Amino acid sequence: MEPSALKGYRGGLLHFLPGGRAEHFTDGLLVVDTVSGRVVDAGKADYLLPLYPAADITVYPNVLIMPGMVDCHIHYPQVDVIASYGEQLLQWLNQYTFPTEAGFADDTVAEQTAGFFIDELLKNGTTTAAVFGSVHKTAADAFFRASHARNTRMIMGKSMMDRNTPDNLSESTADSLSATHQLIERWHHYGRQLYAATLRFVVTSTEQQMRDIRSLMNEYPDLYMQTHLAENLHEVELVHKLFPQRRHYLDVFDYHGLLGPRSIFGHCIHLSDDERRRMAETESRIAFCPTSNLFLGSGLFRLEAESGRIRTGIATDVGAGTSFSLLRTLHEAYKVCQLNGSNLSPQRAFYMATLGGAETLSLDDRIGNFSTGKEADFVIFDLQATPLMARRQARCRTLDETLFALMMLGDDRAVKETWIMGEKRYSR
Ligand code: GUN
Ligand code: ZN
């Protein structure tokens, strides 16, 4: 290895190990090989500096260097839907979301929004996300081009919806399958891009579409499937009416063989014990979307009921979610837990936003912490980003206090720099 290819980033450093144990160094060093873009080492600066004498070191005061954050559920064509007033899920979809997504038939809209969206993620310290597209194949191409150009690791898919949609968003079952198939061939494992068969929700898909998705998952065993599940009580009632032969909402997916470790279910608020048991048994994944659930009045997700049994990541769900910031999202997650009579500890919160998210997306062999060989996606958090944060941090004595103040007071202002595969992609 070229010695000059090594770069070191020195400052407070935190990451998590499998199982959730924190490794924290008040004076830490992250060593990155800028040729491969991978982590070489991470630990105590005093110990590591003599081991890498040729490394070019940058010192950061008053920061926490952490792995890039992982957003397990977000919609790229909903950037302009954020902050749409007054409705709950089904009306919100009809009144705001579907009309906006229809605009993504226009390539210029798709191209411009995709770039803005990924830059906004980077500005907020999010380096990987599971992303829903609009129904349009060309808009998915635009997203992947934008992500590939920035070398970000993204999971994305065009929404598949072959019934119960407005005319300007409808597609035939056959066209939906063929467009998805072409996108998988083009983008799944192209650079850092990965594909998710994106069944918007079962209200807008026929049973044939579900069979088609199962066949795609057979053809591409590491393909993802992402969808929405049990978000809103009116939606749950509608699903019972549309699928009277199924035992419950989850059974619609189960019947078609769509549960498993690569299936990511957004929301999961209104689930029965039987559905939870079945999700755990099949190792299906949950994306917890607190700002969205509060904004749409959907309900309070029970993190404690799922914890330990079902892998759960944190997610913004923009544009029902009200912020791109996973710090603000953790803040709202904490409040949702409070209302459910439990505490979301700061370490668990940051684990969920990093390695826990990577595990939820089955990407923990590549991202999520600073183990040697991982892809060097990381964030430099400025603990004193605002006068209030500086003032509050001055009183913090422990890692937990520092992290809790960061998640309760922080937002994009706390993200000083975001690095992708060892290259700086955002600087405040
Ligand atoms: N259910 C089906 N589509 C959507 C969507 O776009 N956002 C949310 N929050 N729920 C959905
Ligand atoms: Zn969503």
Residues 94, 226: one domain? yes
Q: Which ligand 1 atom is nearest residue 201's CA?
A: 2
Judged against a pLDDT cut of 80, whether residue 1 lies above it is answered with no
> For ligand 1, atom 11, which residue shows the shortest CA distance?
228
Ordered strands of the 415-420 beta sheet = 38-44, 22-33, 6-16, 56-67, 378-382, 415-420, 423-427
Token pair for 75: 């919609």
pLDDT band at 249 (very low <50, low <70, confident <90, very high): very high
Q: Which ligand 1 atom is nearest residue 317's CA?
A: 9
Here the CATH number for the domain that contains residue 218 is: 3.20.20.140
**Identity at 312, one-letter amino acid code:** T
Looking at 360, 394, 418, which one is the last position of a domain? 360
The position carrying tokens 């977000």 is 74
Instruction: Tell me the C-alpha distance between 313 and 126, whole Å.
Output: 13
Token pair for 262: 């690569």
Judged against a pLDDT cut of 80, whether residue 372 lies above it is answered with yes
pLDDT band at 4 (very low <50, low <70, confident <90, very high): low
Residues 82, 16: one domain? no
Q: What digits encode the pLDDT tens for the residues 44-60?
A: 999 999 999 999 999 99
Here the CATH number for the domain that contains residue 52 is: 2.30.40.10
User: What pLDDT is recorded for position 305?
Assistant: 78
User: What pLDDT is recorded for position 307?
Assistant: 67
Ligand 1 mean position, distance from CA 135 (Å): 13
Residues 345, 375: one domain? no
Cβ contacts of 369 within 8 Å, gap of 6 or more: 15, 16, 17, 67, 354, 355, 358
Q: Which ligand 1 atom is nearest residue 235's CA?
A: 1
Ligand 1 mean position, distance from CA 228 (Å): 6
Mean pLDDT of 52-70: 98
Q: How many CB atoms lie within 10 A of CB 388?
A: 11
Token pair for 3: 């010695």
Task: Provide residues with CB under 6 Å of ligand 1.
Answer: 75, 89, 93, 97, 200-201, 228, 231, 292, 317, 320
- In percent, how much of the chain has pLDDT > 90? 98
Judged against a pLDDT cut of 70, whether residue 3 lies above it is answered with no
Instruction: Tell me the C-alpha distance between 404 and 345, whole Å.
Output: 8
Residues 386, 355: one domain? no
Ligand 1 mean position, distance from CA 187 (Å): 24
Residue range(s) defining the domain that contains residue 391: 3-68+369-427
Q: Which ligand 1 atom is nearest residue 132's CA?
A: 6
Residues 295, 379: one domain? no
* Angle value at C-alpha 186, between 181 and 190, nearest 5 degrees: 130
Judged against a pLDDT cut of 70, whether residue 18 lies above it is answered with yes
Residues 182, 326: one domain? yes
* Tally of domains in the chain: 2
Judged against a pLDDT cut of 60, whether residue 83 lies above it is answered with yes
Ligand 2 mean position, distance from CA 145 (Å): 22
Residues 250, 157: one domain? yes
Judged against a pLDDT cut of 60, whether residue 43 lies above it is answered with yes
Looking at 325, 340, 360, which one is the last position of a domain? 360
Please state which of the ranges 132-141, 153-162, 305-314 shows the lowest mean pLDDT. 305-314
* Angle value at C-alpha 159, between 81 and 363, nearest 5 degrees: 95
Helix (H) / strand (E) containing 9? strand 6-16
Q: What digits encode the pLDDT tens for the residues 219-235?
A: 999 999 999 999 999 99
Ligand 2 mean position, distance from CA 263 (Å): 14
Residues 398, 328: one domain? no
Best residue among 165, 201, 288, 292 to mutate for probing ligand 1's pocket (most ligand atoms within 8 Å of CB) is 201
Mean pLDDT of 205-229: 98
Looking at 360, 390, 409, which one is the last position of a domain? 360
Mean pLDDT of 377-401: 98
Ligand 1 mean position, distance from CA 278 (Å): 23
Token pair for 35: 């040729």
Among 141, 125, 123, which residue's Cα sits nearest to residue 133?
141
- In percent, how much of the chain has pLDDT > 70? 99
Residues 49, 118: one domain? no
Residues 389, 353: one domain? no
To the nearest whole number, what is the mean pLDDT of the chain? Answer: 97
Q: Where are the beta strands (DSSP E) in 190-252?
A: 194-199, 224-229
CA dist 187 to 76, 153, 175, 194, 332, Å?
A: 17, 12, 18, 7, 34
Among 152, 90, 210, which residue's Cα sits nearest to residue 418?
152
Residues 64, 147: one domain? no
Grouping H, G, I as helix, E, B as strand and the rest as coil, residue 193 is: coil
Residues 44, 190: one domain? no
The position carrying tokens 């599971």 is 130
> For ligand 1, atom 8, which residue shows the shortest CA distance?
320
